[in-house]
Amino acid sequence: MRLWHVDLLEYLPKGQLLSQWRELNSIFAKEDKHILINYIYEYPKCELYVYTKKVIDEMKKRGYKIRTYEKMNKYFGNIESVKNVKPFRNHHDNEYLQICYYNLKEKFIRGQKDYEEDMYNNLCKYVNDILLSQ
């Protein structure tokens, strides 16, 4: 269980992006506790909402269909659209970006079937640009 660095969602292979939606729905249903996601409960729910919307937007951009929003709607209730919030800003920092990058790098090196070379190369360029600008 992992929530990917918010800036890397567009570089996730199909399997990881769809897994994000499953993991989010698991959080919505039972507020899962796991060492890799416990930090999200330190933040206001609106930040998870923003993250969720970014996952949904990326899925829609790729043409993936979402069958139901029932668990999400129940979990968030009446949260309005939130603007100019970078979710989990104290955790989704450059160190976490590197952790996620190396996780995705391993998936590519090991030959994950749905991880296209162009997407991986774009990920590398993005991460290198961010890290070099520090």
Domain count, the chain: 1
CA 87 distance to own-chain centroid: 10
14 in any annotated domain: yes
> Positive or negative, the Cα torsion across 87, 88, 90, 93?
negative
* Average pLDDT rounded to a whole number, residues 59-69: 94
36 in any annotated domain: yes
Per-residue pLDDT at 132: 76
Query: What domain range includes position 45?
Result: 6-132
* Average pLDDT rounded to a whole number, residues 58-76: 94
Q: How many residues does the chain have?
A: 134
- The answer, yes or no, to whether residue 134 has pLDDT greater than 80, is no
φ, ψ for residue 27, nearest 5 deg: -65, -45
1 in any annotated domain: no
* Average pLDDT rounded to a whole number, residues 40-45: 93
2, containing H or E segment: none
pTM for the model stands at: 0.91
Q: In the chain, pLDDT over 90 holds for what percent of residues?
A: 78
* Average pLDDT rounded to a whole number, residues 56-81: 91
Per-residue pLDDT at 11: 95
**What is the maximum alpha-carbon separation in the chain?**
43
Residues 131, 127: Cα–Cα separation, whole Å: 6
57 in any annotated domain: yes
